[in-house]
Chains A and B, each alone.
Chain A
Amino acid sequence: MARSSARNAGRLPLALAGATLLAILVVPVAALVLSSSPRDLAAGVQHPLFGPALWLSLRTTIVSLLIVVATGTPLAWWLAATKSRSARFVEILVDLPIVMPPAVVGIALLETFGRAGLFGPFLQYWQLQIPFSTIAVILAQVTVSAPFYVQAAAAAFRRVDPDLLLVARTLGQSATGAFVRVAVPMALPGLIGGAALAWARSLGEFGATLLFAGNLPGTTQTMPLAILLALESDVRAALAISLVLAAAAVLLLLALRVATARQWARGPGAEF
């Protein structure tokens, strides 16, 4: 008896620490949900800021996600499959936007694609303008969200047994064929998880967008920016936008869990 209560007492600090973190994470979201009534929500949703920001955020984050997945998947595969030393260096480069403050990312993008930036003269020659455009929003989102996807995808590809890929090759698949028909399906839960993270990150992107793309309703004013502006004029609108973003995040998480759960349901040997 004494030993089990001593063991439980030893677990208490750990349980408290975990519970505290959980509270810090959950309570603000709960407060957000409790903070507005359905009538306030209805009023907030009708605010002129809400619609354009929602539509812009949806458009841009979906395009960003497609770009990230299309370009990040081959990169992640190379990182997972290669034995060259340059791969480690490339990994650090890919991770950079995660550790850089978003404001720094914004300024870096300006210095690259801005009129006075590295590619400025080139872009001007082709009469392409990037800052202040929706393209700038997408660029900023891609920059900050890609590392999440590439990391998750590379980790998922690394977990694929190389023997299976060799078997696929001996059965007549080219390297690309083995990648498409074996590696990708097996890595899919990890790929989906990475994509969800990347999407969530670009949905919430603020600092780089503000500095690089600017703030114009309908063109560059994404939902996070709209929240800040709405707070200045109509708090209900700000709350409504915040709730929609929070709900989107929750739905993403649920979809993620369902997708991965279905993979496990295939049977004990299906743990790939």
Chain B
Amino acid sequence: MFTPPVTALRSAALLAVLGLGCACGAGADDATVVTVFAASSLTEALGELAEEFETANPGTRVRLNFAGSQILRLQLEQGAAADVFASANPDHVAALNAAELVGPAEVFAHNELALIVPVENPAQITAFDQLTRARRLVVAEPNVPAGRYTRELLRRANEQLVPGFGDEVLSRVVSEELNVRLVRAKVELGEADAAIVYMTDAESSGQVLRIDIPPAVNVRADYSVCLVADGRAGEAATRFVEFMLSDTGQAVLLRWGFGVE
């Protein structure tokens, strides 16, 4: 499943106009619109979740904006209009909370990292410790949650696997993408020898091979969701968050490979 990179670029364009946000068409029809900013790794899971929510709540529409969590945080800081923020990293939410832009957050899912290689596997990597065979490694850039988790993973590999392994791997990085889906796209296109993405990203793509990362060094990513202060959807937004945390919502997330409580 290939998410067009246009999503990330659209976010960048939003930035360029200093957070005009995407609530522009909201007042047009009678339906209540819940605007959700979510990390790009949640694309399919939240997409399905939103559909089920709309079916269960006729008269309510859910509008989704996927991008790297760091970009979404930036947009919210610049005043973009949203109702719900689902981040792949608690730090971004904490920062927004401190600035009183969002309410208290709750963890609703978790993820872990996975190593992916193209189907042709040009670097012939079959295990995590063979990652140094890759000459073209693509990761997310440091401000993206997945990028931060990746560097944490490599730091742990330095300590617990082979000293210098993580540094060696980092020296093979040829590009730092703006979100984890762009990272995955480079592998799907066959341009990267290997990349580190979320387990869910690896599973939802039919065009990459997944290689498990030793649990000892793998990093657990906690996804948290919060309500945006001054959101316009009001009660509908609260219901959406509750839906995410409900058994039905959690089942959807589980189906897409996320870990749930």
Contacts and interface: CB of A to CB of B under 8 A. Distances in A.
In the complex, A touching B (Cβ < 8 A): yes
Interface in B1-48: 5-6, 9, 12, 15
B9 A210 contact: yes
Interface string B208-228: 000000000000000000000
Contacts of A107: 5
B224 to A, nearest CB: 19
B158 interface: no
A228 B191 contact: no
Nearest to B71: A232
A131 B135 CA distance: 13
B250 interface: no
Contacts of A233: 143
Contacts of B15: 228, 231
B190 interface: yes
Nearest to A104: B6
Interface stretch (A109-117, A146-154, A187-195): A109-117
B70 interface: yes
A131 B178 CA distance: 16
Given A103-B9, A232-B70, A232-B71, A214 B122 contact: no
B189 A216 contact: no
B190 A115 contact: yes
Question: Which of under 10, 10 to 19, 20 to 34, or 35 or more describes the interface residues of A?
Answer: 20 to 34
B175 A110 contact: no
B209 to A, nearest CB: 15
Nearest to B175: A214
B191 A131 contact: yes
B136 interface: yes
A215 interface: yes
A210 B191 contact: no
B191 A110 contact: yes
A93 B6 CA distance: 24
A116 B143 contact: no
B176 A216 contact: yes
A39 B71 CA distance: 26
Contacts of A229: 141, 143
A131 B9 CA distance: 19
Interface in B158-175: 173-175
A241 to B, nearest CB: 14
Given A214-B174, A216-B176, A115 B6 contact: no
A214 B143 contact: no
Contacts of A115: 122, 190-191
Nearest to A233: B143
A174 to B, nearest CB: 47
Contact of A210 (B173, B174, B178): B178
A129 B191 CA distance: 10
A103 B175 contact: no
A215 B189 CA distance: 16
Indicate the member of B70, B74, B176 with the most A CB atoms within 10 Å: B176
B138 interface: yes
A149 to B, nearest CB: 25
Interface in A130-158: 131-132
A72 interface: no
A230 to B, nearest CB: 10
Contact of B174 (A207, A216, A231, A232): A216
Contacts of B176: 214-216
A214 B177 contact: yes
Contacts of A210: 5, 9, 178
A220 interface: yes
A135 to B, nearest CB: 13
A229 B12 CA distance: 10
B138 A214 contact: yes
Contacts of B136: 129, 132
Contacts of A103: 5-6, 9
A210 B6 CA distance: 11
Given A103-B6, A215-B177, A232 B74 contact: yes
Contacts of A232: 70-71, 74, 143
A213 B9 CA distance: 15
Contacts of B70: 232
Nearest to A224: B12
6 contacts: A114-B190, A116-B190, A131-B191, A206-B12, A214-B175, A215-B141
Interface of B: 5-6, 9, 12, 15, 70-71, 74, 122, 136, 138, 141, 143, 173-178, 186, 189-191
Given A116-B190, A120-B190, A232-B71, 19 more contacts: A103-B5, A103-B6, A110-B191, A114-B190, A115-B122, A129-B136, A132-B136, A132-B175, A214-B175, A214-B176, A215-B141, A215-B177, A216-B173, A216-B174, A216-B175, A216-B176, A220-B175, A229-B143, A231-B15
